[in-house]
Amino acid sequence: MRHLLIFISLVAAVAVFPGIERFANQNPKIDRFPETTVRLNYKVSQLRALAASDEIAQRYVRPLLFPLDLFALIFLGIAMAVASWFWAQSAGVLTQATWIVLVMPIGYMIADLAEDSLLAFLLTDRDAIGDGTVWALKGLTAVKFVCLGAAGVQTAGLGATAAYKAVAASM
């Protein structure tokens, strides 16, 4: 039963993201390229253009980044951390160092929060947008995606291992 509840919490955490996108696509539409572009190929001029509209910049920062994206990153990060921890314990994986399964989910949360904070700062202080700050923003986005991908693979792998071991033990 606990396995099912953890799985449902993970699905619910992922399901939050389409709602945030739906909100971003309302009038006026907010192009979230700084935090959603995996290729990280946008330019300083594109971020300045995004920040040029006070209405869009303010709506991007509040409520999109804070509190909506903040809620989503905390919900997803905690769900992956709890699932990884529980499934590592259930599967008997890393029994001496189970804490290590928390590194990627926590790393994701830290990187996403830092990225959101820097983006909010840049959207509210257009003069701060430059090559260095955009490079830092892209770096945080890259770290976020790496940690999120690793945490997702880890969580799925541990879930599959725990499920396999539970089924094998019941036979």
Give CA–CA dist 132/46, Å, rounded: 15
* CA 170 and chain centroid, separation: 36
Residue 44: predicted pLDDT: 97
Residue 161: predicted pLDDT: 96
Q: Which residue has the tokens 């995004």?
A: 50
Strand extents, DSSP E, 25-82 = none
Give the mean pLDDT of 58-84. 96
Inform me whether the pLDDT recorded for 10 exceeds 90.
yes
Residue 105: predicted pLDDT: 98
pLDDT digit string, tens, across residues 112-143: 999 999 999 999 999 999 999 999 999 999 99
Inform me whether the pLDDT recorded for 1 exceeds 80.
no
- Which residue has better confidence, 29 or 69? 69
Residue 3: predicted pLDDT: 85
Query: Confidence band (pLDDT; 50, 70, 90) for 95?
Result: confident
User: Any residues with CB less than 8 A from the CB of 85 and at least 6 apart, and which?
Assistant: 98, 101, 102
Domain coordinates in residue numbering, the chain? 2-31+41-170
| Total-model pTM | 0.94
Query: Confidence band (pLDDT; 50, 70, 90) for 39?
Result: confident
